[in-house]
Structure 1
Amino acid sequence: MKNIFITSLFILGFTIISALPLQAQRYGTAAGLRLGSNNYSRTVGLTAQQRIFKHVTLEGIVQSDFSRNTTMHLLLEQHKPIISKRFNYYYGLGYSFGWEESQVKNPATMEIITTYGNVTNGIDLIGGVEMTLLNTTISLDYKPNFNMSGRQEFFRGQVGISARTVLVKSKTQNKRKRQRARAKRKKHRTPFFEGIKERFGRN
């Protein structure tokens, strides 16, 4: 039942991301630090975002509390402006993998048994807002996680604050993309006089 719910959630989320109108943000590549917090741990991590389409980014997160919980996340995110491209909100979904603590409650003895080093994997959702100023992107997000295996708790939510440095601006990325497209067209273009010669040669 749990796996059916997670699969349905993943399909629904991907459908929403694919169907809605899309916008761009002010950066192409950005990387920095992320601080996360939930009822189980406080984590410090690295985060990197790469724009893969005009409106969509991939975000990778590696975070740890340097004790009982270390996780890795890959998220597909859609961005839409609130006021301008510098201030926008985003949402998405992805996959998580890691090593986490797990708590099991025993009603008979009123005990909570905690185990460590459990290999876990699950599905993430994410929603947040971000602002880009002075070549830096600051974001606040909420990232719920739905466990598929390795942990007793099915649901864990996490609030995160990230600060990323813009490594490649969106206009720079767009310019490089146009240059590659022009170079590709030029490579496959037949010279004018050569084309005439081939045409008459066939006749």
Structure 2
Amino acid sequence: MTLILLSIVSVGNAQKYRTAAGIRLDGKQFGITVQQKLHEKGTLEGIAAVGSREFSGTLLYEWHFPILGRGLNYYLGAGGHVGNLKDSGVFTGADAIAGIEYKVNFLPFVLSADVKPAVHINHEDWVNLTTGISIRYIIVKEKKKKKGIWPFGKQEDEDEDEGGIFRRKKDKQQEEEDGGIFRRKKNKQQEEEQPGILDIFKKRDNY
């Protein structure tokens, strides 16, 4: 079982994502969820939820931590929400979230399950605790980073990032031009050293 889990995680680790969107269900509400990766461990998630008596929008910042790899990870986050309750009107509040996320092998989908406690202001329920599941479709994949054997592969990547290819072409061109100058000087010197036709006739007349 451990070997199977490790193989799943190792394959999932090769496929990362930057933007994913889908649905979230928590038993009482239906939600649309969008995740946008900001940096290596940080993700911004927006949730628009609709229930029988209310609708709300939630924005969360989440920290992701790998479990044996990046294909399977857990995340913690916090944020806030604003919504409208049928009887009370507008309400606001603060949220926290804790969940686990899995990238499906060979498919552009991410599955997650979470617990999301919330504290409301101007709501009939001051404290609420929901559990939900989400299915997201990967809209934008993260570009794979080129790996090389140090120091040659790493130096090559740095050269390419810093315009190394063009620099090498320019250096090569400069070397060819520099070599051409010396070559032209050398050829001119050889021409001067080699006797011309007039010189040959002059030498014959002297004899």
Q: Same fold (TM over 0.5)?
A: yes
Report what 1:96 is aligned to. 81
User: In proportion to residue count, which structure has more helix?
Assistant: 2
1:126 to 2:112 alignment: no
Shift of 1:153: 2.6
SS at match of 1:53: coil
User: In proportion to residue count, which structure has more strand?
Assistant: 1
CA contact (8 A) 1:100 1:120 kept: yes
1:137 to 2:127 alignment: no
SS at match of 2:67: strand
What amino acid does structure 2 have at the position aligned with 1:88?
Answer: N
Give distance in 1, aligned partners of 2:123 and 2:89.
7
Give distance in 2, aligned partners of 1:82 and 1:100.
39
SS at match of 1:171: coil
Long gaps (5+) in structure 2: 1-14, 147-156, 165-169, 171-207
What TM-score, normalized by structure 2, do the two folds share? Answer: 0.60
What amino acid does structure 2 have at the position aligned with 1:126?
Answer: I
Shift of 1:117: 4.5
What TM-score, normalized by structure 1, do the two folds share? Answer: 0.61
Which of the two has higher C-alpha Rg? 2
Written as runs of structure 1 = structure 2, the 5 A alignment for 1:171-182 is: 171=143
User: Matched residues, percent identical?
Assistant: 37
CA contact (8 A) 1:142 1:159 kept: yes
Written as runs of structure 1 = structure 2, the 5 A alignment for 1:77-88 is: 77-88=62-73
SS at match of 1:54: coil
SS at match of 1:84: coil
Long gaps (5+) in structure 1: 1-24, 102-115, 187-191, 193-203
Moved over 3 A (4+): none
Q: 1:169 aligns with which of 130, 138, 141?
A: 141
Give distance in 1, aligned partners of 2:115 and 2:16.
21
CA contact (8 A) 1:68 1:117 kept: no
Give distance in 1, aligned partners of 2:88 and 2:50.
13
Give distance in 2, aligned partners of 1:63 and 1:72.
6
CA contact (8 A) 1:132 1:138 kept: yes
Written as runs of structure 1 = structure 2, the 5 A alignment for 1:1-203 is: 26-37=16-27, 42-65=28-51, 67-100=52-85, 116-133=87-104, 134-147=107-120, 149-171=121-143
Shift of 1:152: 3.5
Give distance in 1, aligned partners of 2:76 and 2:85.
25
Alignment root-mean-square deviation, CA: 2.7
CA contact (8 A) 1:78 1:92 kept: yes
Give distance in 1, aligned partners of 2:39 and 2:33.
19
Shift of 1:127: 0.3
CA contact (8 A) 1:31 1:46 kept: yes
Shift of 1:45: 1.1
Give distance in 1, aligned partners of 2:108 and 2:92.
34
